A = this chain, B = another copy of it.
Amino acid sequence: VSAEKRYHHGSLRAALLEAALDEIAVVGTSRLSLREVARRAGVSHAAPRHHFSDKGGLLTAIAAEGYRVLAEVTERAAATGRGLVDVGLAYVRFALDHPAFFAVMFRPDVYNPSDGVLAEARDDAAGVLLNAVAREFGVDASDDVVRDGAIAAWAMTHGFATLWLNGNLDFAGEPDALRLAARAFAVVPSLRD
């Protein structure tokens, strides 16, 4: 309790990021306000300026961390060796578990996409997918079909997650998103065999 009253927060940057993620999960990326983030973190509304120049800076940090986590969870799924479907389902699970990351990461218009830390994490995540597709197809990762296949796989998993998170699949009456995803993905032969 006394720690909460300290003038110097100690780890305000991390606290602000977490507060921003919470806030985004509730009101969405676009309605995020720095003042509300500061409020959630229990500091004055001008404090965030010392850690992020503006909203874009904060969102860039969020996107970078999001790509880092995504690369991690998809790599873990790929390592099980059960094939591309598992990687796709890991992608969907990531979106459901971290809706705020998901909402920010694929909106390069709201952050700085050429940020170094972010670009590296993003490339890592892309690499995981490309390798998984190459293994699934039994070809080298540099093969042209890998890029096209990766885009198709990415589109399908990303589309599913997006449609689900925005409430477009409620009509299906399936409360478990991952089960619905698994059933839908299983219809596609090259992912099933």
Contacts and interface: CB of A to CB of B under 8 A. Distances in A.
A148 B183 contact: yes
13 contacts: A28-B30, A30-B30, A106-B166, A109-B166, A113-B167, A148-B184, A149-B184, A151-B180, A152-B185, A154-B163, A157-B159, A159-B160, A188-B188
Contacts of A167: 108-109, 113
Contact of A155 (B147, B159, B189): B159
A166 B111 CA distance: 12
Interface in A72-121: 106-109, 113
A31 interface: yes
Contacts of A189: 188-190
Nearest to A150: B184
A162 interface: yes
Number of copies of this chain that the complex holds: 2
A188 B106 contact: no
A178 to B, nearest CB: 13
- Closest CB pairs A-B (n = 9): A159-B159, A30-B30, A155-B159, A155-B160, A158-B159, A156-B156, A151-B184, A152-B184, A149-B187
Interface string A165-178: 01111001000000
Nearest to A147: B172
